[in-house]
A and B are shown apart, each in its own frame.
Chain A
């Protein structure tokens, strides 16, 4: 069974600085996707960034980037130039890529990391 582990229950960062959230996962599959979701205090979860396992290049979305280490099964999220609006709970998630098969959209989530941004 696939598992996703976020070992940092809480993290904090000063505004304008950089923070890295860690995530490790366990799978025997070789073709999968990894995601970072953000859940602000309003509770509406939104997708931040995603990475396809067969792509070696790390995904980047503006101030958000990932460090994907497939052999180590590690998928960390780096937030640069942190802003107050980045404060939220961040979830790492995994999904097998079984396009056309019977993988019915099952995302496996980590426990989450609460990020606090200090002004």
Chain B
């Protein structure tokens, strides 16, 4: 374990459902990230939070809504997703997103949208 946990590990949802992904880091970091990993595509950065403030939204559709209540927790709220949103969603953390610190990744949530 790298100190970054994600729940659930697997999620199947319909297009009209609302669900949330959770990420928690136990490393004392101040930056947290959401990435999307689709088959045969590069890992895509979605959102960055640094000291609880969102600092990057990589043109992500509004059906994905992040929330960072504190530096240890990060959520991704999902609403009216599309089948093409099916992917592995990875959370990561680092000491400070403005610095070249190693990013530690969680195991991911495998999301399937029916």
Contact = CB atoms under 8 A, between A and B. Distances in A.
Contacts, number: 67
B98 A104 contact: yes
A100 B100 contact: no
A99 B100 contact: yes
Contact of B100 (A97, A102, A108): A97
Interface residues of A, number: 29
B81 interface: no
Nearest to B45: A106
Contacts of B41: 111
Given A99-B98, A104-B55, A109 B42 contact: yes
Tell me the dominant secondary structure on chain B's binding face: loop
Interface string A91-111: 101010111111111111111
Q: Which of A33, A44, A109, A111 has the most CB of B within 10 A?
A: A44
Interface of B: 1-2, 31, 33, 40-45, 48, 50, 55-56, 58, 88, 90, 92, 94, 97-100, 102-103, 105-108
15 contacts: A42-B107, A43-B108, A44-B105, A44-B106, A44-B108, A45-B92, A47-B103, A93-B43, A101-B98, A104-B50, A106-B45, A106-B58, A108-B42, A109-B43, A109-B44
